[in-house]
Structure 1
Amino acid sequence: MKGRNMGIYHALCRSAIVIWIWNGFSALGTVYHSDGSAASVQGLHNAALNGDTITIPAGTFNWATKVTISKSITLQGAGVGNTIIKDAVNGTQLIQVGLVANNLTRITGIEFQNGGRTSVGAAPGGIIRVDGSNTNGSQFRFDHCKWTDLNGYFVTNTVIGVIDHNTVTVGNKVLEWIYPYGSNWNGRTYGDGSWTDPANYGSPLFLFIEDNTFTNTRTTVQGTLTDGFNGARFVVRHNVINNLVIGNHGTESPGRGRSSRAYEAYNNQIDCQNVNRYVSGNRGGGELFHDNTIRNCG
C-alpha cells in the first residue's frame, strides 16, 4: 500500500512502537492475556482501560455467549490458523462493538469459523456488529483475520475506519458478507443525516474495505460483497473479489430507511468465475467505479 492515497489507513494503523497521544493514552497500554474463552475476554475487557490490549492465545475456542466491547481496546489473536474462534452463539451477536469517541478500536489476528449457529445472524444485528459515529472521532480497524463461512453477516453502522488484509469466504451458509449502514450520520436516524451531507468522495469519512481477498464458493450463484443501507458510505479498493457483486439497497426497499449514500470501487481484481456478468449494482446514491480489472464475466 505504500505510495497510495491512504489517508484513513495511515490515520489508523501505525507501527506498534509509535505512541498514540489522542486523549493522553498510549498504544503501549496494559496487555491482558485471556485464556481464549468468551468469559475470560469479557472479564478482562471489563477491567481494561482505553488503549489496552486483550490477547487470545493459539487454540480453537467455541464461543456460545456474546462478547461486548465498549472500550477502545485491541482484541488480538495469535494469527490466522493459530487463534480460531467458532461462533456457537444463537439469537444475538458473537461480538458487539461500540466505538469510543476520539479513539481506535481494533480486532486483529483471529480466524472466525462457524461453530453451530442455527439461525442466520441477519442484518441489522449480524454476527459481528460495530456502531460508531462520523462526528466524534471514533475509529475502527478489522485486520489480518479470516472469516470462513459463518452463518450470518458483518454489520457496521456509521463507522469510520478500515477493514484490511483479511480473507473472507462465503457461499456455504450465506451469500453475502458485509452490511454497511449510515443510519446515525450527523446524529440523525434512517440515514437522513448522510443524505443532507455532500458525498465527499476522496475524503477519509468512509469505511474503507481494502487489501482483502473475498470469495463466494457457490459455483452456480453470484454472491454479494456489500449491501449498503441507510446512508451508508464505503470504499472498496485494492481487493481480490471472486464471484461477488459490490452493491447496495435503495430507498424503495421496505421500511423508512434511506438508500446507501455513496460508495467507491476501484483498483480491485474482480473475477466472475463465469458464474455471473455483474460486478456492481447501485439502487440509490452515488457510485464511483473505475480502474478495476474484470475477468470471466458475461
Structure 2
Amino acid sequence: MNPSRALAPAIAALLVCRPAAATVSCGQDCYQADSCEQAAVQAAVDAALAQNGGTVKIPDPAGAPCQWSKAVQVDGTLAPLDIVGQSQDTTRIRVSEQAFDVAGKPGTRLTISQLQLSDATCTGTCDSIIGVGGGDQWRFHHLRFETTGVFTRLFRTYGQTFGLIDHVTVTGSTPSEFVTVDDEGFPAWKRPLDLGGLAAVYVEDSDIAFTGSWEGRPFDGENGGRMVVRKNKIRNQMLGSHGLDSGFGASIFSVIAYSNSFVLDDDAPAWSSKTWGRLAHFRGGTGILYDNDWTIGGDIWIGAAHIDLAIYRTPTDAGGNEHWQPCDGSQYRMCSNIGKDWSLQSGNFPYNCKSDQDCVDEIGAGTTCKWKTCSVSKLELCAADGDCPSSETCNGYLDGPAADGYPCYMQPGFGTQMQRAPWYEWGNTRKGGEGSSGCNGCDVDFGEDVSQLEPGRDYFDDVPVGTALPASCKPHDGFFHTAERVLYACDAAGKWQKHYTEPPYPHPLQGGSSGGTGGSAGSGGSGGSGGAGAAGGGAAGTAGAAGSGGATKGESDDDGGCGCTLPRSESSGFGALALALLLARARRHRPSC
C-alpha cells in the first residue's frame, strides 16, 4: 500500500480542527486552504488527493493579490477534484510563473473555477498560466484573466487530452495566446477524423478582449491538436495554427469554429499601425468555419480580408523552412533518429531527408535517411513492406509526387493518415474597415497564394445550405443540412455521407460540477505587492481566519466556509509539515513551445 495513502486519514483528521494548519475541513470531501498563497493551496490540493478527492476552496486575499512564483501541481490522475475560489472578481492571484500544472486521467473529473489571475514580471518559464496534460473530463471555467502579455499563452494542452474552457473573461493590453492546443504529435494523425466529436479541446461562452494587437499570438494549435471554438466574443485576436513548418512537431489536426463574434477595433488605445493582415490563419490539417462575423474599426486597414490557408514549406516562403526542408517535389524520407512509432530515439528533433548526409548534418554521426511511408497509410513509417498494413507497400515519401510536392505533408486539406479532408466554410461575414479594404455585410472566404492549394479540392467556399440534399454531387462537395445540423460531403462514388455533426451545446461538461461561487470562507493572507520588477517579493501578509459553516458533498456550491474557525499558533506547522513530507510529488517536466 502507498504509505502516503495509508497515513492520509490520520493526517486529514489532524488537519480538520488543528490550530493554523495549512488546510482545514469545510465539510465532507471539502478542503479549505488556509490562505490564497501558493503553498496553502498546494497543501489543500495534496490533502484532497490523498483521500478520495473532493473540493478545494481558496479564500480571498485580505488585501493585495496573493503572489505566486511557482505552480500548484495538480495530479488529477489520483481522484476527482474541484478547485474553486470565492469569486472571479475577488479571489485575486498574481503569477510570475505558471499557476496550475495539471495532469488528468480519462474519466476523472477535474475543474478549476472562480479565480482572477493576473500576470507579473516573469521569474521562470512563462509558457502558460494553466497547463494540462491527459484526461478527458477537465473543465476550466468562470475565470478572469488580466494580462499584459507576460505569458506566451493563458492555457496550453499537452498530449492526448480533451476538455472544456468556458465562461472565461480576459482583459488586457498586449495579447497572450488564449490557448495553444497540442496533442500527442505525429501519432495523433492516425486517429479517426471525428469532426464534431467530444475528443477535442472546446472553448465556448467566453469574452476575450485585448486592446493591443499581436497577430503572432492567436488562438493556436499544433502537434495533432483538435480544437472547437464556438459562441465566443473575441477582440483583437484571431484564430490560427501551426503546420508542419516552423517547429519540429506535427501540424494541428483540426479546427471547428462557429458562431463567434470577432472585433478588430479602433478604440483608444488602439495600436499605432492600424493594420491587420488577415482574419484567420491556418497552416495545416482540416477544419470547418461557419456563421462567424467580424466587425472592423473604421480606421483599420485589412490586408487580406479572408480566412488564410498557408503552407510555410513552399519554397517561396521566406520564414517557414527553417526546421524542415521545403516542399518542392523532392522525395523525402525521415532520419533514423526516430522510431517506427515516431518516438525520438536520439537527437533533439525529427528531420526529413533525401540522403544520409542530410541526417548527419542535422542530427549527427551515425544517423541515416531511413524511413519511407506506407503507400496509403502515410503516417505509418516503414523500411520494408512488412512494416505496412496488409495490402500496402513501403513505397511512399513524405510529400506527394507532383512537381511542387503536392500534397505537402500535413498541408491544409488533409486529415487522418494524410487522406483528403478539405476545409469548408459558409455563412461567414464582415463589416467595417478603412477605405477600399472596408465592406459592409460582405462574405468571408478562404484565401491562399501557393500552388499546392486549390479551391474545390483542398477547400470549399460558401458551402450550400438547406433542408434537402441535392440529387447529385461531385467528390468532396459539401452541403450543410440546417435541420439536422450536419455537414454532408460527397464520397468518391458520388454519394452523400455525413462528414460532421454539430456537437451538443452547451458542452456536456457544463452540466457537471459547476464550481459556482466558492462560498463564504474567510479571507486568507496576501503577499506584499512587491516592485514591478520583482513580483512576489513582498513580505507575506497575515492570513485571515477561515470562515464558519460547512458544505457537505452534494450540497450547493454556495455553501462555503470551514467547519472550524481557528486562531494561528506556533504549533500549527506540524500538520502541514507532515503532509508535505508524506505527499510530496515529483514535478512533471514538459517541453516548451
* 1:14 corresponds to: none
Q: Does residue 68 of structure 1 match 2:60?
A: no
Q: Does residue 42 of structure 1 match 2:42?
A: yes
* 1:106 corresponds to: 111
By how many angstroms is 1:101 displaced? Answer: 3.2
By how many angstroms is 1:175 displaced? Answer: 4.0
CA distance, structure 2, for counterparts of residue 170 and residue 225 of structure 1: 14
Q: Does residue 201 of structure 1 match 2:202?
A: no
Code of the residue aligned with 2:180 in structure 1: it is Y
Code of the residue aligned with 2:114 in structure 1: it is G
Residues 1-298 of structure 1 aligned to structure 2 (within 5 Å): 30-34=29-33, 35-49=35-49, 50-59=52-61, 60-71=65-76, 72-89=80-97, 93-118=98-123, 121-122=126-127, 126-133=128-135, 138-149=136-147, 151-152=150-151, 153=153, 154-157=155-158, 158-172=160-174, 174-183=175-184, 191-218=185-212, 221-222=214-215, 224-255=217-248, 257-273=249-265, 275-276=275-276, 278-296=278-296, 298=437
C-alpha offsets along residues 263-283 of structure 1, whole Å, 9 cap, x if unaligned? Answer: 101000111226425222110
By how many angstroms is 1:102 displaced? Answer: 1.5
Code of the residue aligned with 1:52 in structure 2: it is G
By how many angstroms is 1:223 displaced? Answer: 5.9
- Higher relative contact order by CA 8 Å / sep ≥ 6: 1 or 2? 2
Contact 1:155 1:179 in 2 (8 A): yes
CA distance, structure 2, for counterparts of residue 286 and residue 171 of structure 1: 31
Q: Percent of aligned pairs with the same residue?
A: 29
Structure showing greater radius of gyration is 2
CA distance, structure 1, for counterparts of residue 106 and residue 196 of structure 2: 23
Code of the residue aligned with 1:73 in structure 2: it is L
Q: Secondary structure at the match of 2:46?
A: helix
Q: Looking at secondary structure, tell me which structure has more strand per residue.
A: 1
C-alpha offsets along residues 174-207 of structure 1, whole Å, 9 cap, x if unaligned? Answer: 5422111012xxxxxxx22221123211111111
By how many angstroms is 1:119 displaced? Answer: 5.8
By how many angstroms is 1:78 displaced? Answer: 0.8
Aligned length: 251
Contact 1:70 1:100 in 2 (8 A): no
Q: Could you state the TM-score of these two structures normalised by the residue count of structure 1?
A: 0.78
By how many angstroms is 1:240 displaced? Answer: 0.2
Which stretch of the first structure deviates more once superposed, 113-122 or 141-150? 113-122
CA distance, structure 2, for counterparts of residue 225 and residue 214 of structure 1: 12
Unaligned runs of 5+ in 1: 1-27, 184-190
Q: Could you state the TM-score of these two structures normalised by the residue count of structure 2?
A: 0.40
CA distance, structure 2, for counterparts of residue 267 and residue 224 of structure 1: 21
Unaligned runs of 5+ in 2: 1-26, 267-274, 297-432, 438-593
CA distance, structure 1, for counterparts of residue 69 and residue 217 of structure 2: 27
Q: Secondary structure at the match of 1:127?
A: strand
Code of the residue aligned with 1:113 in structure 2: it is S
* 2:7 corresponds to: none
